[in-house]
């Protein structure tokens, strides 16, 4: 969440930065400022009443010592009336504090000053490209055609099992998925300095709130229950990304400065129910409810946050470079960024069969926005507790990477060549019909 002190001291600055997102959050900010002011007034009144009660208690004690019981009884009557007032003020402060926190959780992060202004994806900025689009002397097939011809995925049986938006990898198709995951984990742990984590796939709502997925996007994720007990529904959620458990590992902790930077990576399946609204019934791997992803998370001092962002983008790019895939890096504009992000790069890989770029990685610096939500701090050498920057990025996401690989390396005879870096994992050079 945003720093309430910044909001109080520079409301016009915060309002102007929020306006660049074109999401209408300025009204929430105005409501927050009003509630915060009312909360501070009520809190001051409560503290004054509590101080008065303590003063009366001392006076009553002194009177009883002097055996002035009648005077003490009169003060006790005042104390009773004051207690009623304090109870009312405490209830008011709690109510206002809850609304204040709720509003703070609904306000997105402020875009960094280096983020280009824009309303939507059409105003994003391509910052660089790698390689060139592959050329074919035949009509390239789509990944759906290739998967069916090579027996890599059984779309019909996946639908029979779980409905639309799910994948059933088979044979070499399953092995290729596993090979890509293992290749990425090995790269990030052995070459890029990340520590591998195998996190839970179910998390509590406090973890979803910590990274900014709740409360705004609560309807986009899968809630589970314990058996038939409806009262347990929403106590746990299937993770939409490994960012959720990874970023929350150190929630409510005070780390030492020497522990930073922290670099974690994890492979997990990811679960998202919002895909259906965008045509998930279409056969293929572009939009699905469950997919695999290798995620990268960093926890770093604020002064190195943006240096670490560029480094994380390079780490994700290296996956595509070693696979020999054409891609571009896109800097998102203010109107297209995620809720918790201060600056985001998307990495889009070229899929010849689709004739389009597909996003396979989104890399963001959330600055201290998530750290404040989960109360994660570190102690500096001077003894101050500071909120760190938290960064996250896909390193990378499947199955769109799978799509690009199949469509890029397809051969005229129907085979698909395996990139050299994957051959030790696959034990073959081609996928053949």
Catalytic residues: 272, 287, 359, 362, 400
Tell me if residue 222 falls in helix, strand or coil.
coil
Helix runs in 134-290, H state only: 143-150, 155-162, 172-190, 205-211, 243-247
CB 114 within 8 A of CB 332: no
Q: CA-CA distances (angstroms) from residue 39 to 1, 7, 293?
A: 18, 15, 43
Q: Are 71 and 62 in contact (CB under 8 A)?
A: no
Please name the residue ranges forming H helices in 301-399: 305-323, 369-374
Say if residues 152 and 158 touch (Cβ distance below 8 Å).
no
Furthest CA-CA distance within the chain: 108
Nearest to 402 by CA among 362, 363, 364, 354: 354
Give me the sign of the Cα torsion angle 270, 276, 281, 286: negative
Cite the DSSP H helix spans in 238-387.
Answer: 243-247, 305-323, 369-374
> Cα(first)–Cα(last) distance of the chain, in Å?
52
SS3 content of the chain, % helix, strand, coil (to 5): 45, 20, 35
Closest CA to 119 of 333, 311, 288, 329: 333
- Other CB atoms within 10 Å distance of the CB of residue 215: 13
């Amino acid at each position: 969440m945003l720093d309430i002190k910044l909001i109080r001291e520079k409301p016009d600055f915060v309002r102007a930065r929020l306006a660049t997102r074109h999401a209408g959050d300025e009204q929430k900010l105005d409501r927050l400022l009003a509630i915060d002011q009312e909360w501070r007034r009520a809190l001051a009144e409560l503290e004054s009443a509590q101080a008065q009660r303590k003063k009366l208690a001392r006076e009553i004690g002194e009177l009883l010592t002097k055996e002035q019981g009648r005077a003490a009884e009169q003060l006790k009557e005042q104390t009773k009336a004051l207690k009623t007032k304090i109870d009312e003020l405490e209830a008011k402060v709690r109510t206002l504090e809850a609304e204040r926190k709720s509003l703070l959780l609904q306000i997105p992060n402020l875009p960094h000053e280096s983020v280009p202004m824009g309303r939507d994806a059409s105003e994003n900025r391509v910052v660089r490209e790698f390689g060139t689009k592959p050329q074919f002397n035949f009509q390239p097939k789509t990944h759906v055609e290739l998967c069916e011809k090579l027996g890599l995925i059984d779309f019909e049986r996946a639908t029979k099992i779980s409905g639309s938006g799910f994948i059933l990898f088979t044979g070499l198709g399953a092995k290729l998925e596993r090979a890509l995951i293992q290749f990425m984990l090995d790269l990030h742990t052995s070459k890029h300095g990340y520590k591998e984590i195998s996190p839970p796939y179910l998390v509590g709502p406090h973890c979803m709130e910590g990274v900014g997925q709740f409360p705004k996007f609560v309807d986009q994720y899968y809630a589970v229950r314990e058996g038939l007990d409806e009262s347990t529904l929403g106590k746990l959620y299937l993770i939409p990304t490994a960012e959720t458990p990874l970023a929350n590992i150190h929630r409510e902790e005070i780390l030492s400065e020497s522990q930073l930077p922290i670099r974690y990576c994890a492979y997990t399946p990811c679960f998202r129910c919002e895909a259906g609204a965008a045509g998930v019934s279409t056969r293929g791997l572009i939009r699905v409810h469950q997919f695999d992803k290798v995620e990268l998370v960093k926890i770093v001092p604020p002064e190195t946050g943006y240096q670490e962002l560029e480094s994380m983008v390079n780490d994700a790019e290296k996956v595509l470079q070693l696979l020999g895939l054409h891609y571009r890096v896109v800097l998102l504009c203010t109107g297209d960024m995620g809720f918790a992000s201060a600056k985001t790069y998307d990495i889009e890989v070229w899929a010849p069969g689709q004739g389009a770029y597909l996003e396979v990685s989104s890399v963001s610096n959330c600055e201290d926005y998530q750290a404040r939500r989960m109360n994660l701090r570190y102690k500096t050498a001077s003894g101050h507790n500071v909120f760190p920057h938290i960064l996250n990025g896909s390193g990378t996401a499947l199955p769109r990477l799978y799509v690009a690989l199949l469509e890029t390396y397809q051969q005229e005879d129907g085979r698909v060549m395996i990139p050299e870096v994957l051959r030790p994992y696959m034990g073959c050079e081609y996928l053949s019909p």
